[in-house]
Chain A
């Protein structure tokens, strides 16, 4: 039996758990809803998932796990401490996550930010790469960093926090209370809002996308708007193309900041919107080339993330294996 590591990917809605082999295969994958009743219940849900996993491993192959890798939302330092608050998980605020879970389950625990875990997993399948940044575009923008094969947490777990970097001082309001953040321009939520705001300025647009925006109502959820937007881009709708170009422009700025600072071998983009990666990645790459020095541009590859929803589990296991 391969050396096994337990992995947890904690999210706002589910606690995912699996045993991960050294080659990244998941065994006994499970998921339970994330309790909404406070920190203690979330810790118990994690402990119960790990306990069930260990019992199943013992039954099926007389094996056990040596450590737990725990990917979680929030700013988590390299000491396993959760700084500040992760708003999607009740009570997930200012405590040593790794120590608390380790004491509860009796295994060594490595806790890290879920975006950093996913970046580590992507790095493990990226040949010839030592450093990688993963930008996940969803309702917000999350950035995970794996530098020289290790997750980068920074002083207080805020490394890679580019979603709320102000790129347009005094610009669009952001749900964080600030204005002009990257998330206010290039998240799925922001693209939807901007599309609605600007639809009236393109009265001649005959695309189904423009019609959807004018009609409003059902069918205008974030993912539907983005699907419709990219169908319109393929049909050469000029309104959709402007939105696409501006959206990619902000993501290119994010990539250029990452490239100039840490020079990753790859900047990968993930998230639901990457269903249209064939349009998005080339446009980000084109604009990225106008924002950085040529030698930086030549050496940093912009691409789509390879792993899907299991990346968080695989990366958490890698982190635990490296630490113990």
Chain B
């Protein structure tokens, strides 16, 4: 509900509500917005005039219906094509990235090598700025979403631990300096949650809850992680530990999470028996999490998307999975799932309504920063 009281917060909150309403109802008229948000027509007129002037909105001809004076009402839409975000996936050997706008169009794909094991804040910040510059386009990039393998606190933001990057407790920047005058905001999360952000942001259907399950195989290491969506938002949980895959057979000992030795995991994908064992445990392990979440879909990414047919075949043979396998779908963004997911995460945070709590504020990007960037271009 739009806010009253504190004026700067109220203005910012109302603007966010208007943009969020237009995101969900493109082509809505000023009158529609006033009715949807319970705000005065004069407030809506002021906010939309400012957003039109700053190039965030377009008028779209008639929205249907007419004013009391008989003039046709004018619809409004967000200029999604201007909201270009760089989505980056970091890995030990470098990065992959896409430039994607809020309409879902990919404008550029980038890839680069960079040794990231043991990386610190300064080097990482410089790398992100370099990627931004190399992604340079006529239309400015308004922000960066960055996926990091491991445990990530997206609010402070900090890499708590990354086995792949071999780092622990590394602070991350909130903004990166692209040139002498331009700073752009950046948001982070881990790769599984970015996958979930991507599915949430780009799915065509209204999604309230979802489980995104991904697996990465690197040499002998095989890791499974989940991104959890509840009530239309990706959740982090206590100390950012939500989405820990839980194997029903794990005994808490030193073996791998799966019923085979660490050394066998190198053959997941190539050895049929080991692959079946691991996939069966993944499928059975999803049943409890699905009971907790009651998701609209269970979406598979990474190695599990690449081996989706085999995963489905294994699931068909597991009676306990009968209730969940009808929810299985392969990730819709395919190999862009993490990069595009990272950009989707930025877009989702962009449309957050600013809150009063520290955590809400930390996540909030704010439209002022975006209009400055667009205005500077």
Q: Which 4 A-B pairs have the closest CB atoms?
A: A154-B294, A263-B237, A260-B246, A263-B242
A160 within 8 A of B: yes
A165 within 8 A of B: yes
Q: Please determine whether A162 and B233 come into contact, CB atoms closer than 8 angstroms.
A: no
> By CB atoms of chain B within 10 A, which of A78, A166, A262 has the most?
A262
Nearest-CB distance from B293 to chain A (Å)?
Answer: 6
Q: Please determine whether B246 and A257 come into contact, CB atoms closer than 8 angstroms.
A: yes
Nearest-CB distance from A106 to chain B (Å)?
Answer: 19
Q: Please determine whether A260 and B252 come into contact, CB atoms closer than 8 angstroms.
A: no
Known: A162-B288, A262-B292. 9 other contacts (CB 8 A): A154-B293, A159-B293, A159-B294, A165-B291, A261-B226, A262-B237, A263-B238, A292-B246, A295-B151
With A148-B230, A159-B293 as contacts: A264 and B288 at CB distance below 8 Å: no
A-chain residues with CB within 8 Å of residue B373 when the two chains form the complex:
none
Q: Please determine whether B320 and A169 come into contact, CB atoms closer than 8 angstroms.
A: yes
A to B CB contacts below 8 Å, 17 in the list: A150-B231, A152-B230, A154-B293, A159-B209, A162-B292, A165-B287, A169-B320, A257-B246, A262-B235, A262-B237, A262-B292, A263-B238, A263-B243, A295-B151, A296-B241, A296-B244, A300-B241
In angstroms, Cα B230 to Cα A296, docked, is 19
A-chain residues with CB within 8 Å of residue B237 when the two chains form the complex:
131, 262-264
A293 within 8 A of B: yes
Q: Which of B85-140 contact A (CB under 8 A)?
A: none
Interface residues of B (CB under 8 A from A): 1, 151, 161, 208-209, 226, 228, 230-231, 233, 235-246, 252, 287-289, 291-296, 319-320, 359
B-chain residues with CB within 8 Å of residue A261 when the two chains form the complex:
226, 228, 242-244, 246, 288-289, 292-293
Nearest-CB distance from A307 to chain B (Å)?
Answer: 21
B-chain residues with CB within 8 Å of residue A93 when the two chains form the complex:
none
Nearest-CB distance from B349 to chain A (Å)?
Answer: 14
In angstroms, Cα B193 to Cα A263, docked, is 14
A-chain residues with CB within 8 Å of residue B296 when the two chains form the complex:
155
Interface size on A, residues (CB 8 A): 42
Q: Please determine whether B289 and A257 come into contact, CB atoms closer than 8 angstroms.
A: yes
Q: Please determine whether B288 and A155 come into contact, CB atoms closer than 8 angstroms.
A: no
Chain B contact residues: helix, strand, loop or mixed: mixed
Chain A contact residues: helix, strand, loop or mixed: loop
Nearest-CB distance from A49 to chain B (Å)?
Answer: 27
Interface residues of A (CB under 8 A from B): 78, 130-131, 143, 145, 147-148, 150, 152-162, 165-166, 169, 256-265, 290-293, 295-296, 298-300, 324
In angstroms, Cα B209 to Cα A304, docked, is 28
Which of B1, B209, B239, B293 interacts with A263 by CB under 8 Å?
Answer: B239
Q: Which residue of A lies closest to B319 (CB)?
A: A169
Q: Please determine whether A159 and B239 come into contact, CB atoms closer than 8 angstroms.
A: no
In angstroms, Cα B235 to Cα A265, docked, is 12
Which of B208, B239, B294 interacts with A161 by CB under 8 Å?
Answer: B294
A-chain residues with CB within 8 Å of residue B231 when the two chains form the complex:
78, 147-148, 150, 152-153
Q: Please determine whether A299 and B241 come into contact, CB atoms closer than 8 angstroms.
A: yes
Q: Please determine whether B294 and A265 come into contact, CB atoms closer than 8 angstroms.
A: no
Q: Which residue of B lies closest to A128 (CB)?
A: B238
Which of A143, A256, A290, A299 interacts with B239 by CB under 8 Å?
Answer: A299
Q: Which residue of B lies closest to A156 (CB)?
A: B294
In angstroms, Cα B296 to Cα A265, docked, is 25
Which of A154, A158, A166, A262 interacts with B242 by CB under 8 Å?
Answer: A262
In angstroms, Cα B298 to Cα A155, docked, is 12
A-chain residues with CB within 8 Å of residue B208 when the two chains form the complex:
78, 153-155
Q: Please determine whether A262 and B246 come into contact, CB atoms closer than 8 angstroms.
A: no
In angstroms, Cα B293 to Cα A270, docked, is 21
Q: Which residue of B lies closest to A129 (CB)?
A: B238
> By CB atoms of chain B within 10 A, which of A160, A261, A262, A293 has the most?
A261
B-chain residues with CB within 8 Å of residue A260 when the two chains form the complex:
244-246, 289
Q: Please determine whether B230 and A147 come into contact, CB atoms closer than 8 angstroms.
A: yes
A-chain residues with CB within 8 Å of residue B292 when the two chains form the complex:
143, 145, 159-160, 162, 257-258, 261-262
Q: Please determine whether A295 and B235 come into contact, CB atoms closer than 8 angstroms.
A: no
In angstroms, Cα B1 to Cα A258, docked, is 31
Q: Please determine whether B235 and A148 come into contact, CB atoms closer than 8 angstroms.
A: yes
B-chain residues with CB within 8 Å of residue A262 when the two chains form the complex:
228, 230, 235, 237, 242, 292-293
Q: Please determine whether B238 and A131 come into contact, CB atoms closer than 8 angstroms.
A: yes
Q: Which residue of A lies closest to B245 (CB)?
A: A260
Nearest-CB distance from B241 to chain A (Å)?
Answer: 4
B-chain residues with CB within 8 Å of residue A296 when the two chains form the complex:
241, 244
In angstroms, Cα B209 to Cα A98, docked, is 21
Q: Please determine whether B235 and A292 come into contact, CB atoms closer than 8 angstroms.
A: no
A-chain residues with CB within 8 Å of residue B246 when the two chains form the complex:
256-257, 260-261, 292
In angstroms, Cα B208 to Cα A147, docked, is 13
Nearest-CB distance from B17 to chain A (Å)?
Answer: 16
Which of B236, B239, B359 interacts with A295 by CB under 8 Å?
Answer: B239
In angstroms, Cα B293 to Cα A148, docked, is 14
Nearest-CB distance from A126 to chain B (Å)?
Answer: 12
Which of A148, A157, A166 interacts with B294 by CB under 8 Å?
Answer: A157
With A260-B246, A261-B292 as contacts: A147 and B235 at CB distance below 8 Å: yes
Nearest-CB distance from A91 to chain B (Å)?
Answer: 24
In angstroms, Cα B113 to Cα A313, docked, is 58
Q: Which residue of B lies closest to A162 (CB)?
A: B291
In angstroms, Cα B245 to Cα A61, docked, is 53
